[in-house]
Structure 1
């Protein structure tokens, strides 16, 4: 009898979910799994295991250091662990003894396709959020079939800046913002190919802004297809001002004379049924996208005008802004809410870790 059978008391539903996870792990559908729990501050703690370890973890749990419970919100250990006193009133924790963490199979979620995932402070997305709170946000791209061909909205990270150790230290020095790639290859060509679309079949690209997680894949399209962007965004990116790179806008991603830039100065239809809407504030030329579906209905993709659902529902300002106070980022959110309500369209926040997996499941019939 294994640890889970002896102590966890799983329901039949949990056991069935665990079997499905084991099948995914054995069938090559998983590479790594992040196991997390919320500590007493509400912060996520945990560890990552490889797919080969998943079956054993689902039988026996996995060991983690109890010192994770002795930290403050900055990650510093503040409770003594190597004393005669009982840390946190629990003698079992003396000496930073290991604990066993058993995952609940019903909470398992596959991350949506994205050219990367960012692990960052929630304050990057929500102004005023405690800096110590961390959130893992998907970095999605949207591939649309229009009357003029395939249109890609946003292009993800420049993988070279993440995989080369020296470049990663140069461009991503902060431990609070460390993007993760979904695998060893180039995610952008691989993801369209997974749905039967070759990169060469994409006929146009639009970027919501020049941040590294949205413009990094433009290297794949230089000299090939038009790229839609707001003029104010490009001018800011090329301005040479020191705050540009501090905003994770890297000139190496987009300063290529081969890129066929199509500059807008406000709202513009960039393809049949797809309109770029100027929502400046987060960046000087940020644009969101309104997509009309041929069969009726549609979507409003906010981009970073509203990273998370709480930005929309609670009208919380964007975590960062350029040239305007945080409160000025609320009007673009309200504008997008009005657009969605007037048309009856779904409003999709740019990086929400709950919304995107659910959207992908609905659009793919559960094949994430």
Structure 2
């Protein structure tokens, strides 16, 4: 098996979009040398009126506390993108480095889609690491650029010592039904061409890596069957 510095992967459901039964989720990677790396942070503590279709559950800070971690214990936050259900608690992790695609961060500074959450993601520049394209953060943890849902969206590839390779598609492929090479009815979907390109990229990656598990960003049926914190994949 490929060498990996990753030891565990915890999955958390931190909220829901009740009308569509969509889980709101994030994850925690722990390394063999004791680092704690969050993948997204879920919804904000107070949901803005314009996002009233979301509903908080047990938030990421509370769930981390249940396994003995405080916000100061988080070394890094992988920010897949700045939508309200993915970056809502970024500011809680004041000791962490934030890792985001340069294209996404630069777009967000002038994109009204992300303005309501700016206080969370617009952290001091010295704490933001901007990356360009696919990037290996450490052995066993790789960022995969998957624009389409938004410019500079990123998915995450995790290589675990026992489970094997796990691919978190995040919002590049939010539902298992879309993880296909078949043509999609996407004529009315903004940036459909980029979404399809990123889907094919992830399909190719999953095949090449012989992924043991592909986790989709908002698939209720799948998330109901996954191990959730305090359980973990190792």
Change in Cα spacing, 1:325 to 1:335, as seen in structure 2 (3 Å) is same
**Residue 69 (structure 1) aligns with:** none
Which of 43, 49, 52 lines up with 1:157 in the alignment? 43
In 2, the alpha carbon distance for the partners of 1:188 and 1:363 equals 12
- Name the count of aligned residue pairs: 219
Aligned with 1:116 (options 1, 7, 15): 15
Equivalent position to 1:330, from 178, 196, 205:
196
Indicate the residue corresponding to 1:339 in structure 2. Answer: 205
Q: 1:117 to 1:271 in 2, by over 3 A?
A: farther
Aligned: 1:301 with 2:168: yes
Is residue 181 from structure 1 mapped to residue 56 from structure 2 by the alignment? yes
Q: Which residue of 1 aligns with 2:217?
A: 350
Deviation at 1:258, TM superposition (A): 6.7
- Mapped to 2, the partners of 1:362 and 1:196 lie a distance apart of 12
Q: Flag structure 2 segments of 5+ consecutive residues without an equivalent.
A: 1-10
Determine which of 120, 128, 148 is the counterpart of 1:261.
128
The reply to whether residue 281 of structure 1 matches residue 156 of structure 2 is no
Displacement of 1:115: 2.4
Q: Which has more helix, going by share of residues?
A: 1
DSSP-derived class of the 1:327 partner:
helix
- Tell me the residue number matched to 1:226: 97
Distance in 2 (CA, whole Å) between partners of 1:268 and 1:181 is 32
Compute the displacement of 1:296 (Å).
5.6
Instruction: Name the structure 2 match of 1:212.
Output: 84
Question: Aligned equivalents of 1:294 and 1:212: distance in 2?
Answer: 33
Offset from partner CA, 1:145-176 (integer Å, 9 cap, x none): 1145111101011113x2xxxxx32x32xxxx
CA shift digits 1:23-79 (9 cap, x unpaired): xxxxxxxxxxxxxxxxxxxxxxxxxxxxxxxxxxxxxxxxxxxxxxxxxxxxxxxxx
Indicate the residue corresponding to 2:139 in structure 1.
272
Relative to 1, partners in 2 of residues 1:354 and 1:330: Cα closer, same or farther, differing over 3 Å? same
Displacement of 1:347 in angstroms is 1.3
Greater mean alpha carbon deviation, residues 289-298 or residues 225-234: 289-298
1:340/1:238 CA distance change after superposition, 3 Å: same
Write the distance in 2 (CA, Å) between the matches of 1:319 and 1:193: 44
d(CA) in 2 for partners of 1:197, 1:190: 9
Please, which runs of 5 or more residues in structure 1 have no aligned partner?
A: 1-111, 120-133, 163-167
Partner of 1:141: 26
SS of the aligned residue for 1:195 comes to coil
Q: If the length of structure 2 is used for normalisation, what is the TM-score?
A: 0.83
Secondary structure class of the residue paired with 2:14:
coil
Contact kept? 1:276, 1:290, Cα under 8 Å: yes
When you count strand as a share of all residues, which structure comes out higher? 2
2 CA distance for matches of 1:137 and 1:282? 16
Superposition deviation, residue 304 in structure 1: 0.4
TM-score (norm 1): 0.54
Cα deviations across residues 251-297 of structure 1 (Å, max 9, x unaligned)?
Answer: 23212327711001101112331100100111111000000112361
